[in-house]
Amino acid sequence: MLLQELFAKGSASRADLARSSGLTRVTVSDLVAELIGEGLLEELGSPSQTKVGKPPTLVGLVVDAKHVVAIDLSVDDQVVGAVLTLVGEVVTREVRPLEGRRGQEALALVEEFAHSLVGASTRPLLGVAVATPGVVDPDGVILDAPNLEWSDVPLADSLGAALGHPVYVANDANVAVMGEYTFGGAGDGGLLLLRLSTGVGAGLVLNGSVLPGHAGAAGEIGHVQVDPDGEKCGCGRPGCLETFVSVPRLRRRMAQGDADAALADAGQRMGQALAPVVATLNLAEVVLSGPADLVEPLAREAETTIRDRVMAVTSAGFTVRVSGLGDDGVLAGATGVVLAGELGVS
Ligand SMILES: [Zn+2]
């Protein structure tokens, strides 16, 4: 509770913490002393402008007290990894080519890469998070990730045993939405993040929590059919949203004809698919994550389409915007997953 308060607000005095937590001052002082002892908090001195009397001493989170290792498997044919601080700042970042590896070979590469990143950390390690495409259960078992040819892979357990550190494995779009919520300046009004990469997936944060869905597959809007006569999708059916807006398919359409028209068409189809979701959940924001040259025009087009299709009360204050976290949004989000799991902070 105290870490959450300091994480959200930056710094506070012990008296502030007692007021906001409802704990006694003695309990707060004991807990703060314990957290200072663990190196997670530090005393920051007194605020410069104080009233008469003894000024309170502020305490704050030591952002590089510990490091987090994050691995992103959602980028086309690459494995991106980083060592990050507790506030998602990248300390070191590395990329390994996947070179078409699948199945066991891909798993072996991830394990070797994770060892190397753990070795590159210069602080005690809080934990490791892996963001993967596909459906992942709450225990970090990858149930189905067709692009990597993984099914029923207990990656959190196997990597945890290999590394000797806590390991979290989660869906890439759910990780990205966690990053946007924790570090990207999102409000509490309900957030859907649509991630455009090899495939298309979404993550939802409602009331401060990532929505898992009953089978762990919430956000699979990429496989909603938007054109019954469209191109065949990787899932086997024709005309899924993914066939219009995944990065490789959209780039191919743009190269084949009028690039602006292809982008506008993709943005409109995205808006058509998202409008019922935005209206049903009364979301405040849809955030797009992906290559900047694509997501900026898509966001404008999708917002116009959604506004045209929903009631004024739904579109009031609603925006579609591009993630400010850029390419490293998934890595920052992976930090958020470890913070939530190990420290209860989000
Ligand atoms: Zn599909």
Residues 72 and 108 in one domain: yes
Residue 154 backbone phi and psi in degrees, to 5: -80, 65
pLDDT at 50: 57
pLDDT at 51: 60
Residues 140 and 271 in one domain: no
Q: How far is the CA of 143 from the centre of ligand 1 (A)?
A: 17
pTM above 0.75, yes or no: yes
Q: What's the Rg (C-alpha) of the chain?
A: 22
Residues 34 and 101 in one domain: no
Q: How far is the CA of 218 from the centre of ligand 1 (A)?
A: 15
Residues 157 and 276 in one domain: no
39 vs 125: CA distance, rounded Å:
13
In which region does residue 326 sit, left (phi positive, over 0), alpha (psi from -120 to 50) or beta (all else)?
left
Q: How far is the CA of 222 from the centre of ligand 1 (A)?
A: 7
- State which of 61, 92, 108 marks the end of a domain: 61
The domain spanning residue 42 has which CATH number?
1.10.10.10
pLDDT at 36: 93
Q: How far is the CA of 234 from the centre of ligand 1 (A)?
A: 6
Q: How far is the CA of 200 from the centre of ligand 1 (A)?
A: 9
Q: How far is the CA of 201 from the centre of ligand 1 (A)?
A: 11
The domain spanning residue 305 has which CATH number?
3.30.420.40
User: 99: which residues sit within 8 A by CB, 6+ positions away?
Assistant: 77
Count of structural domains within the chain: 3
Residues 204 and 259 in one domain: yes
Q: How far is the CA of 174 from the centre of ligand 1 (A)?
A: 19
Q: How far is the CA of 238 from the centre of ligand 1 (A)?
A: 7
Q: How far is the CA of 38 from the centre of ligand 1 (A)?
A: 48
205 vs 177: CA distance, rounded Å:
7
Q: How far is the CA of 240 from the centre of ligand 1 (A)?
A: 5
Residues 54 and 80 in one domain: no
Q: How far is the CA of 223 from the centre of ligand 1 (A)?
A: 4
Per-residue pLDDT of the chain (346 residues), as tens digits, is: 888 888 877 889 999 999 988 999 999 999 999 999 988 899 987 766 656 667 788 999 898 999 999 999 988 778 999 999 998 889 999 999 999 899 999 999 999 999 999 999 999 999 999 999 888 988 999 998 877 899 999 999 999 999 999 999 999 999 999 889 888 877 788 999 999 988 899 999 998 888 988 888 889 899 999 999 999 998 889 999 999 999 999 999 999 999 999 999 999 999 999 999 999 999 999 999 988 899 999 999 999 999 999 999 999 999 999 998 876 788 988 998 999 899 888 7
* Burial (CB count within 10 angstroms: exposed 0-12, middle 13-18, buried 19+), residue 50: exposed
For 216, the domain range is 185-324
Q: How far is the CA of 306 from the centre of ligand 1 (A)?
A: 22
pLDDT at 127: 97
